[in-house]
Structure 1
């Protein structure tokens, strides 16, 4: 009987660890994507407010 209890407690801990790792991976991916987006926006040239006059 204890063998079944040991196995279920082990699988519960493994499932919890797997969820934590998956959650951390998702968070890291979202942070990476947002930083990449910010860098791409900074790299864009700023719009010129005045049009150059030509004669």
Structure 2
């Protein structure tokens, strides 16, 4: 952040600020796990909806269920 530089230094770019902030904070594995779990639930939900839409499409055309 801007507080950790002296008056002599030029302003750092956004990417440099982000890298400095990331270096100062340890990664939170529980946060990563939550993101992965959320993505898995979303993908599973989408697959379930697709399967239901596919099953209903076959019934609407008059084909008997196999």
Q: TM-score, normalised by structure 2?
A: 0.53
| Structure 1: segments with no counterpart, 5+ residues | 46-55
Query: CA deviation digits over 1:1-50, x for unaligned, max 9?
Result: xxxx824xx211110000000000000000000001000000125xxxxx
Partner of 1:52: none
Aligned residue pairs total: 40
Partner of 1:18: 36
Q: TM-score, normalised by structure 1?
A: 0.63
**Structure 1 residue runs of 4+, over 4 Å off?**
none
Aligned CA RMSD, in angstroms, stands at: 2.1
Q: Which has the larger radius of gyration?
A: 1
Name the CA distance, whole Å, in 2 between partners of 1:12 and 1:22: 15
| Structure 2: segments with no counterpart, 5+ residues | 1-24
